[in-house]
Amino acid sequence: MFILFPAIDLRQGRCVRLKQGDPDAETVFSDDPAAMARHWANEGASWLHVVNLDGAFGDAGRAHGNRPPINLQRLQEIRTAVELPIQFGGGIRNLEDIRMALELGATRVVLGTIAVQNYDIVQRALARFGPERIVVGIDARNGMVATHGWLNTSDMRASDLAQAMAAVGVRRVVYTDISRDGMMTGVNTEASVQLALASGLRVIASGGVGSIHDIQTLAMHENDGIEGVIIGQALYTGRFSLSSALRASQQ
């Protein structure tokens, strides 16, 4: 089944959206991410995609006594608020980070920067937690992998990273075209499909969804390995509703 993932991006405990990953281009949409999660559940969501932007930018935040950093507290609150499975990423750097995120409510965890820097960690995570609980995030700028909250661009091609991840046992990736993220200019269907076909991985597309047509076009490639799409700005700005997008994706 083709899956639509409403995005809940967390920054200092609030639900925000950025444009092209720029921390200075932030719009706050809610101070209550758990309420936002309930809203998407009521609209028919079958999954949520939650991102710890503070972690992605290298500022994981401080623990408060025995309590985890604020965005991980928000993850707990979202888990309590809804029964939906949660895909969670941002700032995951080691096995302990993965364990904590899973214990606090994530169904599966997205590994981004660490997947580029350390294949061994990916293999150990797969062995310890299983391939259904580990997703690799491949974020690309002009086809090249970006890391550290998209602040750095590596010399590795997205397709090469995807093939390397498939080789160590990864089953699915989130593929984001950074140039389109938050811009609602259209998702990069072609690159997403090419990545899926070249690697054999299940691909969740992300970045740039601006219309129902984007979703319908991606859904047509489910048999090519496109498993779903993450939607953020278009939902938060009312470009279309999640319920209408879900209907369109199933036609």
CB contact set of 130 (below 8 Å; sequence gap of 6+): none
Q: Which amino acid is at 86?
A: I
Closest Cα to residue 174, out of 184, 162, 186, 163? Answer: 162
Asked if residue 181 has pLDDT above 80, the reply is no
Asked if residue 249 has pLDDT above 70, the reply is yes
Active site amino acids: 9, 139
Question: What is the number of residues in the chain?
Answer: 251
Q: What is the pLDDT of residue 225?
A: 98
Q: Report pLDDT digits (tens) over 43-79.
A: 999 999 999 999 888 765 555 567 899 999 999 999 9
Alpha helices in the chain (DSSP H): 33-42, 53-56, 70-81, 95-103, 113-117, 119-129, 158-168, 189-199, 212-219, 233-236, 242-249
- Say which CATH superfamily domain 3-249 falls into: Aldolase class I (3.20.20.70)
Q: Report pLDDT digits (tens) over 27-43.
A: 899 999 999 999 999 99
Torsion sign (Cα): 66, 68, 69, 71: negative
Q: What is the pLDDT of residue 65?
A: 61
Is residue 215 a contact partner of residue 245, using CB atoms and an 8 Å limit? yes
